[in-house]
Chains A and B, each alone.
Chain A
Amino acid sequence: MNTIVITIISLSVIGSLSGVILFLIAQKFKVFEDPRIDDVEGILPGANCGGCGFPGCRGFADACVKAESLDLMFCPVGGNDGMVKVAEALGRVAATKDPTVAVVRCAGSPDHRRRTNRYDSAMTCEIASGLYSGDTACSFGCLGLGDCTVVCTFDAIHMNPVTLLPEVDDAKCTSCGACVKACPKMIIELRKKNKKDRKIYVSCINMDKGASAKKACSVACIGCKACLKACEYDAITIENFLAYIDPVKCKLCRKCVEVCPTDSIQEINFPPRKKADVEVAVTETQANKTIMEGF
């Protein structure tokens, strides 16, 4: 009986003493953490995608609190609304950005781009592109092994089993840029998001001369400059036999799509054209094809 009493008393004394010591040490070495970091982290989407350039949402919240201004801070997942909330919590002004969306700039499906060899090594784009140019004659195009789909944390990009090309789900894409970084061929681009997810873009990044680009893929951009002449808004530039449409300058008039002789300019989510338009388009395209015979 006596032993039990002594044990209980001594343990209680040791316990309370340790408690007091620990309390004092905790007070002495307390690390002050700005409570606003927790607030900001609560506002952020919590996807930890790294699209902001910081290690996870906590890292971004920490950086936002410590930063002088929020001009260079942007969470692509939360978008402008999210950044406004973050700015309110911190009593600062948020920089707004036009929303963007990932766009795959290759249309070389097997119909358009003949497979010239078969790849049987490790099924990742990174390894394939390190070994050789790819299983078609186009050394710029999509390898179709889906590194971009693996890295997407939002389930927004999938391989189309028919075209063997990745397709972006605009509703789910947060433009975090993970796929852009994962693509060794640098095919994916973040472009300005338009109303009703409408898009006009050159779906090709082949920088070979027109003749060899066309030989490798029937929907390759051949740098013929037809779109350059057709564009009224000075949105198109051509470099290395490749056209590029500036997403900010582009007014979505679709004139370039009509004149493109290889159909490498894509128009997506537009209403069908009026019949008259289509006829004009066809004649113009034919006119261009005659011009193109020089290639």
Chain B
Amino acid sequence: MRTFPKGGVHPPGLKIASGSAISLLSLPEIACIHLSQHLGAPAQPVVAKGDAVKVGQLIAEVSGFVSANIHSPVSGIIQKIEPAPDASGYAKPAIFIEVSGDEWLESIDRTPVLAKPNGITGDEIIAKVKEMGIVGLGGATFPSHVKISVPKGKKADILIINGVECEPYLTSDHRLMLEKGEEILTGIQLLMRALGVERAVIGIERNKPDAIRHLAGLAAGYPGITVCALKVKYPQGGEKQLIKAITGREVPSLGLPIEVGAVVHNVGTAFAVYEAVLKNKPLFERVVTVTGKNLAHTANFQVRIGTPVIQLIDAVGGLPGNAAKVINGGPMMGKALPMLGVPVTKGTSGILIMSDQESARKQSMNCIRCSRCSSACPMGLEPYLLMSLGEAKRWEDMESEHTLDCMECGSCSYTCPSHRPLLDYIRIGKSNVNRIIRARK
């Protein structure tokens, strides 16, 4: 059974919500859509206060190469355009839409019939993906059209589809694979055509045997696409880890996957690409897992972006009495939300509610040089050393110790028996190293 060789940890899976079928969540009264939903430059609004918009209408457009369009997730009137707190609590520019009815653009094909990619060319696919504002739905929200435009002089020979979902608790990709298998495979065909590759591999961890069986069965009808079952290990969903696990190729330090001829996309992105290209549907809704041990029931909701998080929690019966943290994302890489009024964005994969007992950070103690963090680090770094350097503010030394290779998976902090805040200091180091690199230019 394949996996990546270096490091990794085995947190309990806790995929409680894997049995809950994707259900539609009711529309919010007011949708708040941040202009920075993706990696890169914030989008520029193309609507003004008082304008009427329909579902799927462009409300903010790309500014710069790495940026993405944003479309209205609801129909209604633009209430205001002003800063509102995002998941970090800091106010960022956002468009508020007062919802009335649910009127979609006529161009969007809402029939459930499976469309086929007849005769569409790669360039048309890339243009459509850009127009429809598709971003990577695995969590990093990198604009997809940039990722499928292979730079000159480089060549991709394999497309890897990430169905790993290695974060504990999260099940949105799992449900999508079970319920939208044909659509995902068609989306993969489109991505293959855009990239000009003959081979695509869907990587799925074997804790999702039903998804492996289902997709492997369907993939027989799609030439070039295979399913690869992977041993369960966190963080296998990391781009570099997944490439290593499936192809055995190692992406060089600070390099991009294209350098070893691979491109990785999430299953959610493949589905969004299918809908964008063949159904004309922009990315304005996504599947969000709402889960937690103490919830009355868990759910996988199809949510319009801009819906406040509190509405998702209310839909599963409200916050349990012992709730201490509401986490945006999974327990390993997610961040606790400072307030529940913040909206769902293109990058929200799950909302996890934890009690104090589950989530409290334990008292940090001295490093005992057990080197568990170094063994756990999937990038082969030495987190204990990076933390000491970070505490001493030795940014140049952190740079030469390859801090920037850290992908913030949190395996080091998870495994530390002294509960040291390793990742927190590495993050500070990364931002300072980036700052000094920028200053050098």
Q: Which residues of A pack against B, CB within 8 Å?
A: 116-117, 120-122, 126-127, 130-135, 137, 139, 208
- On whether A117 and B425 interact (CB within 8 A), knowing A131-B88, A132-B89, A139-B89, the answer reads no
Which residues of the partner chain A approach B85 to less than 8 Å between Cβ atoms?
133, 139
In the complex formed, the residue of A with least CB distance to B431 is: A130
Complex Cα distance, B328 from A131, in Å, reads: 13
Q: Which 4 A-B pairs have the closest CB atoms?
A: A133-B89, A122-B421, A122-B424, A132-B89
Least CB separation from A135: chain B residue: B338
- Interchain CB contact under 8 A, A127 and B421: yes
Residue in B91, B336, B360, B428 whose CB lies within 8 Å of A130: B428
A132-B91 contact given A122-B364, A122-B425, CB 8 Å threshold: no
> Which of B335, B338, B364: most chain A Cβ within 10 A?
B338
- Give the nearest-CB partner of B421 in chain A: A122
A131-B335, A132-B338 given; A139·B91 CB < 8 A = yes
User: Which residues of A are found within 8 Å of B88, using beta-carbon distances?
Assistant: 131-133
Contacts of B364 in A (CB 8 A): 122
A25 CB to closest chain B CB, in angstroms? 35
Verify A121–B421 contact, CB threshold 8 A.
yes
Knowing A127-B424, A208-B91, say if A133 contacts B361 (CB, 8 Å): no
A134 to B90, CA, bound (A): 9
Q: By the criterion CB–CB under 8 Å, are A121 and B360 in contact?
A: no
In the assembled complex, how far is the CB of residue A207 from the closest CB belonging to chain B, in whole angstroms? 9
Q: Roughly how many angstroms separate A122 CA and B365 CA in the complex, as a whole number?
A: 12
- Consensus secondary structure, chain A interface: loop
B60-114 CB contacts (< 8 Å) to partner A: 83, 85, 88-91
Measured CA separation A139–B424 after assembly (Å): 20
A122-B424, A134-B338 known; 7 new pairs, CB 8 Å cut-off, are A122-B421, A127-B428, A130-B431, A131-B335, A131-B424, A139-B91, A208-B83
Closest to A122 in B: B421
Give the residues in chain B near A121, CB-CB below 8 Å.
Answer: 361, 421, 424
Most buried by A among B339, B364, B428, B431: B428
- CB neighbours of A131 from chain B (8 A): 88, 335, 424
Instruction: Say yes or no for B427: interface residue by CB 8 A criterion.
Output: yes
Does the CB pair A120–B361 fall under 8 Å? yes
Question: Whose C-beta in chain B lies nearest to the C-beta of A126?
Answer: B428
Q: How far is the CA of A120 from the CA of B91 in the complex (A)?
A: 22
Q: Report B-chain residues with C-beta under 8 Å of the C-beta of A137.
A: 339
- Which residues of chain A come closer than 8 Å to B91, judged between CB atoms? 139, 208
Distance between Cα atoms of A135 and B325 in the complex (Å):
13
**Chain A contacts for B360, CB-based, 8 A:** 120
Specify the chain B residue showing the minimal Cβ separation from A208: B91
